[in-house]
Amino acid sequence: MPPTIQAGTPSFDPSLPWALHPQVSLRPEAFGALAYHFGTRRLSFLKSPTLLAVVSSLATQPTGRAACTAAGVGSDELATYERALAALAESGMICERSAP
Amino acid sequence: MTLVTPERPTTLRLVDQFQLGLDAPICLTWELTYACNLACVHCLSSSGRRDPGELSTTECKQLIDEFERMQIFYVNIGGGEPTIRADFWELVDYATDHHVGVKFSTNGSRITPEVAERLASSDYVDVQISLDGATAEVNDAVRGPGSYDTAIRAMERMAAAGFVGFKLSVVVTRQNATQLDAFLALANRYRAQLRLTRLRPSGRGADVWDELHPTADQQRGLYEWLLAHGEKVLTGDSFFHLAGYGEALPGLNLCGAGRVVCLVDPVGDVYACPFAIHDEFLAGNVRSPGGFDRVWKSSDLFAELRRPDTGGACRSCGMYDGCRGGCMAAKFFTGLPLDGPDPECVLGNGKALLAAAADTVPPRPSLDHSRRAPAGPVAVALTPRRPDRICDEHPLAGPDAGHPPR
């Protein structure tokens, strides 16, 4: 059965280190990827290959913003991608990691 | 489910991308056995007796390996009554050990307190308990005598074991469409989540569809009820034809057959969807060279289903973008053309076609594993049915196979 997700998740801070939640699997698709959380049984669609690249590199990049930049997100699109990451954080698909 | 999308124009809407098919299904139904200890009048797979050609334990495990390779996140296991298989728990454990989550549907007859405890302790198993009436009278007329009490007892055990959020799964019929609030109250009582799905004229459902499918007024009421309850009530995306009323219900709102969903039946046949067990929708078999992966990726039928939809007779209808012509299986088994309106089209376009097709015989399911019980039409009237035969209790092993008659 699904573990309870903490209510009132703090807002997404792109200057912190992030990672995919350990119970989440990603499956690349032509449009981007499917993300499935085995704990909450929620399915999300990452609707761009770039967003998939961002999410995949979160764990190896020092911050959320660095993951965006490393995936080739330009400064004009940064806010858009950070909003997408915020949505993923809110649904528990990605979570803060303790140290960079 | 959630859409996470950078807000910028993309070349294709997600629904159109899904129409073209995915590398693997999002949602796969796997019916483990045609054996069932019940004989519901509307059974979509005409289940009852085990098929001698059902996949062996080893074959099932090989299939799970393949699901893992294809990154199919979870499978919806059904039947028949899947828990009847002697290797059921072994297969559930094997799947979850191989990163394939399991949600299984059951009539509750095998949910002992010990089983409930075991289920409550697993992160990767979800359970759907079927109930088609919020009262024993309404439920048992469809699912058989005693089946209401069986399901309620199973829910009590799940709640007692602390399993929060299992599913109470209801097929909406003319007889229970007035009980939606009562179903929700039942679900809440056992800390379950209500799941409502659409009655299809599939399997034995074809024989009773005329008497059981909701009236037009009930459909409207259901639509408004679903809109009012939002994502709290699950629907398995099965009411997308109701989008013709105006606002779309939560979900993908498309027919996923062969595009994002499919069915693997107990003998390994792959059909476009669980409601389409007919040669017309048979894409291949998992035992053939290349296995399930090849069927999913290369079958002619699925390639055909993934071509962009033209809309057919519905093309000129302003609602087509919402309902997308409705359910393929519902059309097929009521004898309607696949490129026209759904028999339950909310604008009434299916009704006229149904009347016109009244003299033609709609296609029958290709398979029937119903137990050879009473001859003649099945009674759907809301009166208690006669008790099933003793040997109906154990469809896998009749009295001569070691189960003493009681």
- Structure tokens of B199? 């009655």
Count CA atoms within 13 Å of residue B142 on its CB side. 30
At B240 the pLDDT is 93
- Map chain A to HEC letters: CCCCCCCCCCCCCCCCCEEECCCEEEEEECCEEEEEECCCCEEEEECCHHHHHHHHHHHHCCCHHHHHHHCCCCCCCHHHHHHHHHHHHHCCCEEECCCC
Residues of chain B positioned with their CB less than 8 A from the CB of A91: 2
CB B12 within 8 A of CB A47: no
Verify whether the Cβ–Cβ distance B4 to A88 is below 8 Å.
yes
Residues of chain B positioned with their CB less than 8 A from the CB of A76: none
Closest CA of chain A from B69, distance in Å: 11
**Spatial distance between the Cα atoms of B253 and B261, rounded to a whole number of angstroms:** 13
At B383 the pLDDT is 44
Phi, psi for B338 (deg, rounded to 5): -70, -20
Q: What is the pLDDT of residues A2-27, one digit of tens each?
A: 444 444 445 789 999 999 999 999 99
Closest CA of chain B from A54, distance in Å: 12
Residues of A at the B interface, defined by Cβ within 8 angstroms: 1-3, 23, 25, 27-31, 34-36, 38-39, 41-48, 50-51, 77, 80-81, 83-84, 87-88, 91, 93
CA distances from residue B141 to B144, B172, B175, B178 in whole angstroms, order as listed: 6, 14, 10, 16
**Spatial distance between the Cα atoms of B218 and B57, rounded to a whole number of angstroms:** 44
Whether the pTM exceeds 0.90: the reply is no
Identity of the amino acid at B314: C
* B17 in A contact zone (CB under 8 Å): yes
At B56 the pLDDT is 98
CB B344 within 8 A of CB B213: yes
Helix (H) or strand (E) segment spanning residue B66: helix B57-69
At B69 the pLDDT is 96
CA distances from residue B23 to A74, A75, B258, B293, B392 in whole angstroms, order as listed: 29, 32, 11, 9, 41
**Spatial distance between the Cα atoms of B330 and A54, rounded to a whole number of angstroms:** 42
* B22 in A contact zone (CB under 8 Å): yes
In total, chain A counts a number of residues equal to 100
For B118, the closest chain A residue by CA position comes to A1
Closest CA of chain B from A57, distance in Å: 17
Checking if the pLDDT of A1 tops 80, the result is: no
Return the number of other C-beta atoms located less than 10 Å from residue B242's C-beta: 27
pLDDT tens for the 406 residues of chain B, in order: 566 655 443 456 777 778 888 889 988 999 999 999 999 999 999 999 999 999 999 999 999 999 999 999 999 999 999 999 999 999 999 999 999 999 999 999 999 999 999 999 988 899 999 999 999 999 999 999 999 999 999 999 999 999 999 999 999 999 999 999 999 999 999 999 999 999 999 999 999 999 999 999 999 999 999 999 988 999 988 999 999 999 888 877 788 999 999 999 999 999 999 999 999 999 999 999 999 999 999 999 999 999 887 788 998 999 998 899 999 999 999 999 999 999 999 999 999 889 888 888 888 888 899 987 654 444 455 444 433 333 333 333 333 333 333 2
Least confident of A41-45, A68-72, B249-253: B249-253
At B398 the pLDDT is 30
At B402 the pLDDT is 31
Verify whether the Cβ–Cβ distance B24 to A39 is below 8 Å.
no
Burial of B318 (0-12, 13-18, 19+ CB in 10 A): exposed
Residues of chain B positioned with their CB less than 8 A from the CB of A27: 23-24, 71, 73
At A15 the pLDDT is 95
Which residues make beta-bridge pairs with B170?
B196
Residues of chain B positioned with their CB less than 8 A from the CB of A28: 23
